[in-house]
Amino acid sequence: MTPPRRPGCALPRPFLDSIQAGTMATTYKDVPMYKNPFDLALYQRLLWQTKPRSLIEIGAKFGGSALWFADLLGRYGIDHTIHSIDIDDLPRPAIPGVTFHHGDGRNLGATLSPELLRALPRPLLVIEDADHRPATTLAVLRFFDAWLQPGEYIVVEDGIVDDLFDADRLATLDGGPRPAIEAFLAERGQDYEIDTALCDAYGVNMTWNVNGFLRRIA
């Protein structure tokens, strides 16, 4: 059964547009990092709560988010390993503890071997921030379903596109990540829950990761 579709972001459209403009101009230590203030605050909370020893990010771009995650985990005293995967080879900083991989979210088995995954220190946190097309998001969710353990999270970024984009632009993303979250929860929802304490911390879905903070519960 398809789970009920939770509401989208409670922020009115003009604010979404201006926050998105600011997000696309955000840098961390001079490296572009496409995160908005809500999600920077929510990730700080998630990292402190879950203390991940391993973080896998799908969608590295210029490495700004990997750099920020590595710095934050270091400040929290968490011995960490980050694997950040991208289909494009872009210039990225060298960051202790971070390995950038060339890879495709739709074919993660070619990049992340069972040996690598089995050896990862736990807890694991996965962040899906690739092309925001449902086929990619669903492939990433299904891939990590075989690896995530109860208490661990997979975060699907940018379900905000439903609220942010008009119908034509949303169609260029085949509808964005939210249909993939819904399809995945219809398949596997008995073992996952949407963490509404995170999604709704600042108002209903005042996050770009709309209904996207998924916790494995069984």
Ligand X SMILES: C[S@@+](CC[C@H](N)C(=O)[O-])C[C@H]1O[C@@H](n2cnc3c(N)ncnc32)[C@H](O)[C@@H]1O
Question: Can you give the binding site for ligand X, defined by CB under 6 A?
Answer: 33-35, 57-61, 64-65, 85-88, 104-106, 129-131, 136
Residue with smaller CB distance to ligand X, 58 or 185: 58
Q: Tell me what percent of the chain is helix, strand and coil, each rounded to the nearest 5.
A: 40, 15, 40
Given phi > 0 = left and psi -120 to 50 = alpha, else beta, which region is 192?
Answer: beta
Going by C-alpha positions, the residue among 213, 178, 180 that lies closest to residue 199 is 213
Residue with smaller CB distance to ligand X, 89 or 166: 89
Smallest distance from the beta carbon of 194 to ligand X, in angstroms?
21
- Would strands 27-28 and 31-32 be described as parallel, antiparallel, or unpaired? antiparallel
Find out whether the peptide bond into 123 is cis, omega within 30 degrees of 0: yes
Smallest distance from the beta carbon of 35 to ligand X, in angstroms?
5
What residue type is assigned to position 172 of the chain? T
Residue with smaller CB distance to ligand X, 68 or 147: 68
Residue with smaller CB distance to ligand X, 33 or 125: 33
Residue with smaller CB distance to ligand X, 2 or 172: 172
Smallest distance from the beta carbon of 58 to ligand X, in angstroms?
5
Going by C-alpha positions, the residue among 176, 186, 128 that lies closest to residue 156 is 128
Smallest distance from the beta carbon of 217 to ligand X, in angstroms?
26
Smallest distance from the beta carbon of 33 to ligand X, in angstroms?
4
Instruction: Please say whether the beta carbons of 126 and 94 come within 8 A.
Output: no
Instruction: Please say whether the beta carbons of 211 and 52 come within 8 A.
Output: no
The number of residues in the chain equals 218
Cα(132)–Cα(93) distance, rounded to whole angstroms? 24
Residue with smaller CB distance to ligand X, 3 or 44: 44
Smallest distance from the beta carbon of 2 to ligand X, in angstroms?
25
- Would strands 153-156 and 213-216 be described as parallel, antiparallel, or unpaired? antiparallel
